[in-house]
Amino acid sequence: MQIFLPEALKGYYGWSLYCAAKAGMENFIHSLAVEQQTQPHPFLPINIDPGVIDTDMQALIRATPQSDFADVERFIQRKNQGLLVSPDKVAASIINIIELPSLSFGNRYETSKHNN
């Protein structure tokens, strides 16, 4: 299981290495999925999209000067609008996802669609 983030699909000013790493991990899971389907005892690689989690990292992002991160205002607005999800809620959703009987190799699962 790999935690997917939208930064894997879109570049952000000041985040080039982070975005590249996330894109690489997304495709790594897809490649593992192809390989594992031919193995006698495969494991099931999947991507989990947790949404925007209310973490210390988010607080650091919101404190970043706009000169270093052009999209900082969007992150501030998300917090002010109550759009961040608690880590506990995300963890519970991840458990729901990994217990699904119908998981598919290499798929991406959104925690927002698997709440209790």
Pure H helices in 1-71: 16-36, 56-62
**Which residues are annotated as catalytic?**
18
Report which of 7, 4, 9 is spatially closest to residue 107, judged by C-alpha positions: 4
Cβ contacts of 17 within 8 Å, gap of 6 or more: none
